[in-house]
Structure 1
Amino acid sequence: MKRTFDVVLAFIVLLLCLPLMLVVALFIKLESKGPALFKQQRIGKDGRLFSIYKFRSMVVGAEKVGPHFTSDYDPRITKVGRFVRKTSLDELPQLLNVLKGDMSLVGPRPNVPEQRSEYTEEEWAERNKVRPGITGLAQAVKRSQATPVERTQLDLEYVRKSSFLFDVYVILLTVKQIVLKGGN
C-alpha cells in the first residue's frame, strides 16, 4: 500500500508542480553557470547506493570544497539556492526518485556514504530497512535544526512506527513546518 501511495501521490504532485519546477530551473540557470539539477550518491534501502536528484542550491563543485553538511550562512549557497532551500523547492526533483523506486515520500532522509560513521552497526542496519524519504520524522519535527544524535533517534523512531497513518502524520507535520515556520 505504501508504494502505491508513493507512486500515485508523487505522480500527481509532479504534474501539478511541473510549471513551478521549470521556473525554478530557469532562475537557477540565470543566476549561475552549471546544471539546474544536482545529482549525488546516497544510501538507500538495504544500504544500496542510488543517485538523488535535487535542484542545485550551491555553486558548482561545492561538495569538493566543503563538508557534506551546510550551515545557515554557508558561502557556497547561491541567492536562488537560499530561497529554494528555505521553501524546500530544492527537494521537488526527488519525486523522480520516488517514481523510480529509490525513495519513498516519507522515510529517513538518505545519507551520503560519509555519514556511515555516525551510526552503530545496529542503528545503520535498522535505519536502512526502509526506503529513504523526501521527508522524515526528523525534518517534520526539527526541520534542519536537528543534531546528528537527534536525527538518528528520530529516524529510528520512524522505522519502528512506520505505517500508512504515521506517514500521513509526518507529511502533515512537514507541511506545517514549511508553511507556518517559513522553512526554518
Structure 2
Amino acid sequence: MSFVGPRPALFNQNDLIAIRTELGIDKLRPGLTGWAQINGRDELPIPQKVQLDYEYLQRQSLVFDLKILVLTFYKVLSKDGITH
C-alpha cells in the first residue's frame, strides 16, 4: 500500500473490482488516499469513482500525488465531506 492511489475495494464490491480490472486500474498500488476520495469519498457512485481512479492512472506523477496529499490534508482539517 502507498500513501496515494485508489482505495482498495471491499471484498463484496465485485462490480468495482471487475471494472477496475477491465481498465487496468487494478495494476496500481492501493493507497490511503486517492483522487476519488478527495472528490467525493463514499458519496460517489461506482462509475464516477472508477472514472476518477482511471483519471489518476492517466495523470499519475509525483506532482499529482503531492497535490492529492495537500488536498487530503485540507479536506481532513476542514472536515469537508464528513457525514458521520
Q: Normalised by the size of structure 2, how large is the TM-score? A: 0.81
**1:116 to 1:135, Cα distance in 2 relative to 1, 3 A:** same
Q: 141, 144, 147: which one pairs with 2:39?
A: 141
Give the ranges of 4+ consecutive aligned residues of structure 1 lying more than 2 Å apart after TM superposition.
Answer: 116-121
The gaps in structure 2 that reach 5 residues or longer are: none
Q: Which has the larger radius of gyration?
A: 1
Q: Normalised by the size of structure 1, how large is the TM-score? A: 0.40
Residue of structure 1 equivalent to 2:73: 175
Residue of structure 2 equivalent to 1:122: 22
DSSP-derived class of the 1:144 partner: helix
Q: 159, 162, 176: which one pairs with 2:57?
A: 159
Offset at residue 151 of structure 1 (A): 0.9
Provide the aligned length of Structure 1 versus Structure 2: 80
Calculate percent identity across the aligned residue pairs.
38
CA contact (8 A) 1:105 1:135 kept: yes
Equivalences for 1:53-72 in 2 at 5 Å?
A: none
For residues 28-79 of structure 1, the C-alpha deviation after alignment (integer angstroms, 9 at most, x for no partner) is xxxxxxxxxxxxxxxxxxxxxxxxxxxxxxxxxxxxxxxxxxxxxxxxxxxx
Offset at residue 163 of structure 1 (A): 0.8
DSSP-derived class of the 1:128 partner: helix
Amino acid of the structure 1 residue aligned with 2:65: D
What CA RMSD, in Å, does the superposition of the two structures yield over aligned residues? 1.7
